Amino acid sequence: MRRVVITGVGALSPLGLTAQESWDNCVEGVSGVGPITLFDSSDYLVQIACEVKGFDPKKYMSPANARRRDRCQQLAIAAANQALVDSGLEITEDNSHRVGVVISSSIGGISTLENSVRQMVSNGPRRVSPLTIPMMMPNGPSGLVAIEVGAEGPALSVSSACASGSDGIGLAWQYIRNGMCDAILTGGSEATICRVGIASFDRLGAMSRRNDDFSMTPQPFDKNRDGLVMGEGACVLMLEELTRAKERGANILAELAGYGITGDAFHITAPHDEGAGGAKAIVQAMETAELNSSDVDYINAHGTATPLNDASETRAIKTVFGQKAYEMAISSTKSMTGHMMGATGALEAFFCIQAIKTQISPPTIHYETPDPDCDLDYVPNIARDECINVAISNSFGFGGHNSVLLLKKYV
């Protein structure tokens, strides 16, 4: 099996319009929560979200193409462009068939679908745009990025709810590891802050409604947590086979060494009470990396701030790590970015890379009141220096999807 390394990153998140800006604000404990501006939410029970602020798609594409692309696709193209530039990899006629794109989304162009349905109801079926399908399909980001950069290898998307971004990265890792590709742009993109997106998640009872005082929400692992805050954004990593990356003198950021994937077979939205599937996925990630629990220094938790998820994930971590679970740094960066759905796992993988690179564990902000069911070290409120050589990123999604990535310092 070939080794796989990360050589470039691009990101647009509620914390910044680049990967570095997102990380800098993450370490500083900046909250991305604010009033919804992407639509009029005055008649909604939820009026807050974590939006990507100041994004201008015309910096990455022509005005005409921007109009023909859903926000989910625009964000993906921008992040992929950043990652490709950051990697320094030149895609040519000679290597294009060995370069792939795996950019995932849990829902795809939901705003486009919403607008098309509204148009059909108001003006009839003949007024629906012929671009509706190309703009709403979840594989649109991968297809468009492949066209933009000229990548002729595998181009696809994974849809596994909140685990989509991580599973896409895991699949890309397998393709390179097994020799199908030499390099893949991979990650996730999501833009669900629209009328039907917010309303649907709120009806599930999953969202915080602290509209008037949002300065302390979301609160992952806190006893008073009351639900997630919807986020949006995109993050794309450039994965490369180690030998070829070294041959071209690439700047290697970290090694993607392990991947675990399981299903709960339990409930369509609720996690397994004991976190059994999540625990097994963590073990798989360590086994594929040929490491054990004593080697792991930091966990970027799924940590959505929903009562069931946080308690279940805490139990999963305890199951795998035993007493060491109490000695590890664990943080939920969703306390700052909100839940970016299919893009979250990719951004959190990048945060793990940065934790290894800078030897800093990012904080879980808004943490005030300990919960007896969540009694681990969640790096409350302030980032701190740590010795981090191996980091794990957990992503658990509706449908019982569990995805775990293991990243380590490249040596």
Q: What is the CATH number of the domain that holds 316?
A: 3.40.47.10
Under 8 Å between Cβ of 222 and 368: yes
Instruction: Give Cβ neighbours of residue 136 (< 8 Å, ≥ 6 apart).
Output: 70, 108, 109, 110, 112, 113, 116
- Co-location of 176 and 285 in the same domain: no
- Give yes or no: residues 153 and 284 share one domain: no
- Could you tell me if 109 and 210 lie in one domain? yes
Number of domains in the chain: 2
Please indicate, yes or no, if residue 252 is contained in any of the structural domains.
no
Three-class SS state of 25: helix
What is the predicted pLDDT for the residue at 267?
A: 94
Which of 191, 213, 247 is the last residue in one of the domains? 247
pLDDT at 205: 92
Which residues neighbour 342 within 8 Å (Cβ) at sequence distance 6 or greater? 104, 105, 106, 107, 159, 161, 162, 164, 165, 188, 189, 190
Judgement on whether residues 227 and 278 belong to the same structural domain of the protein:
no
The answer to whether the CB of 266 falls within 8 A of the CB of 401 is no
Same structural domain for residues 31 and 109? yes
Together in a domain, 16 and 118:
yes
Residues 215 and 285 in one domain: no
Kindly report the number of other CB atoms within 10 A of residue 149's CB atom: 19
Distance CA 160, CA 6 (A): 23
Q: Is the pLDDT of residue 90 over 90?
A: yes
Where a domain ends, among 247, 282, 302? 247
* 236, 303: one domain: no
Same domain, 51 and 189: yes
Residue showing tokens 């960066």: 333
- Matching residue, tokens 């669900």: 192
Report whether 63 contacts 46 (CB < 8 A). no
Residue 83 lies in a domain: yes
Return phi, psi of residue 357, to 5°.
-65, -40
Per-residue model confidence (pLDDT) at position 1? 87
Can you give the pLDDT at residue 349? 98
Residues 359/387, Cβ–Cβ less than 8 Å: yes
Distance CA 166, CA 347 (A): 9
pLDDT for the residue numbered 163: 97
Domain match, 228 and 107 both:
yes
Task: Give burial (CB, 10 Å; 0-12/13-18/19+) of 34.
Answer: middle
- Read off φ and ψ for residue 339, nearest 5 degrees: -95, 105
Which domain covers residue 303, as residue numbers? 260-408
- Residues classed as catalytic: 162, 302, 339
Is residue 392 assigned to a domain? yes
**Is 255 part of any domain?**
no
296, amino acid identity: V
Last residue of a domain, one of 216, 247, 278: 247
Q: What percent of the chain has pLDDT over 90?
A: 99
Residue 81 lies in a domain: yes
Is residue 201 over pLDDT 90?
A: yes
Would 253 be classed as within a structural domain? no
For position 224, what pLDDT does the model report?
97
Q: Would you mind telling me the total number of residues written for the chain in this entry?
A: 411
Average pLDDT over residues 207-232: 97
Considering the domain architecture, whether residues 159 and 222 belong to the same structural domain is answered as yes
Give the tens place of pLDDT for each residue, 34-77: 999 999 999 999 999 999 999 999 999 999 999 999 999 999 99
* Rounded Cα–Cα distance for residues 319 and 299 (Å): 14
Q: What are the angstrom distances between the C-alpha of 223 and each of 14, 226, 304, 307, 371?
A: 25, 9, 13, 8, 4
Question: Taking a C-beta distance cutoff of 8 angstroms, is the pair 238, 83 a contact?
Answer: yes
85 and 228 assigned to the same domain: yes
Q: What is the pLDDT of residues 323-354, one digit of tens each?
A: 999 999 999 999 999 999 999 999 999 999 99
Average pLDDT, the chain: 97
Rounded to the nearest angstrom, the gap between the alpha carbon of residue 122 and the centroid of all alpha carbons in its chain is 36
In a domain, 96, yes or no: yes
Model confidence at 273, in pLDDT bands (50, 70, 90)?
A: confident
Kind and range of the H or E run holding 233: strand 233-241
- Report if residue 254 sits inside a domain: no
- Measuring CA to CA, how many Å separate 84 from each of 106, 145, 150, 242? 23, 11, 12, 17
